[in-house]
Structure 1
Amino acid sequence: MEPGGDVIAELAADHRELEDLFSQIELQPVDHPRRRELADRLTAELVRHTVTEELHLYPAVRKHVLHGAALADKELADHARAEQMLKGLEDRNVDDPLFNDTIAKLKFEVASHMREEEHKLFPKLAAALPPEELVELGRLVRRARETAPTRPHSLLPNTPPAHRLLVPGTGLVDRVRDLLRTTTR
């Protein structure tokens, strides 16, 4: 994605990347170690994506979209279900039958969530905000992605103000863990 995209373009590009990661996982033989690497990448990207939505998209939806609070709450519930699946996937080996089952369920959940955002939520937000505000939200999303966590944290609040305070530190800790995990493989 080129710098300067609006929030809808930024998040839609994330959606395409997540779809691609699911496809890459499915292309690997069932018990191939590459599936674990791809699942770890998927986890990092999905967590970053959901955190940026929680920090910037859903507060804007609550504030500017008619019945936005209900929409945002539904999306947050979707995130919580996906996060539980990611947590269950975290320490599973690729030869565990639950690994593939969890990937399949996660793909279904995430695909449904993305369709709903792209066909319902994004158009409502686009109608509610002027283009310059959508571009500013896109900038905030890009910046938040740099410090967002890369692992699921079910105890981390998913709404401001606590979320805004805790996410950067959690993201830093996750990146150190990711680095250590990569160097010890």
Structure 2
Amino acid sequence: MIEEQQNNPLHGLKLETMITELVDFYGWKILYAALKLGCFNTNPTVEACITFLKKTEWAREKVENFYLYRFKRMPKAIGEQFELKPRERGFAAGLAPRKPMELTIESIAQMQAQASAEYEAGNRHPNSAKKSIGGRGVNSGAHQRNKSASGSSYGSSDNGYTQRRDRPEPRTTERSGPSPSTDDNDPWGTKRG
């Protein structure tokens, strides 16, 4: 059964063609400034980029997003489409790509600075962002623990570390699998019986 093809400029597009189009239009320096991928900076070649992007899914998705939203200027993904990989996204029928966005090193730096400032501004207002069930901010539990432990609202411990209430507590992750070997003759733990 043949599935109906989505309206997506990436559909059927080879990685080599995509990289070649981007390099021909923007050049290596602009691509590196915009994407911060080493394959666009250190002795860049189309072949080296293809090799790296085939092995590195997150980088390939980053380049594909750039291709869709900066080079082809398709509308930003929303809702369920946002959760899909760039090649799996669909666009309304009849929606055609527009002229590529003109970029310079200066305009990229300005966009990155603006995005960084917006990100920081969003993180400075814990009550306006994420809320927990009780209507208190995300970090209110840590704040309450620190307040009761030290008597102050910011809490300090014996080691001089002061936890700010607008930053989340560090997450701890449990390690799965066998513990590391302590045998100097078998550091990888391959000889366990």
| TM-score, with structure 1 as normaliser | 0.28
- Larger proportion of helix: 1
User: Which structure is higher in RCO with an 8 Å CA cutoff and minimum separation 6?
Assistant: 1
When Rg is computed on C-alpha atoms for both structures, the one with the higher figure is: 2
**TM score, norm. by length of structure 2:** 0.27
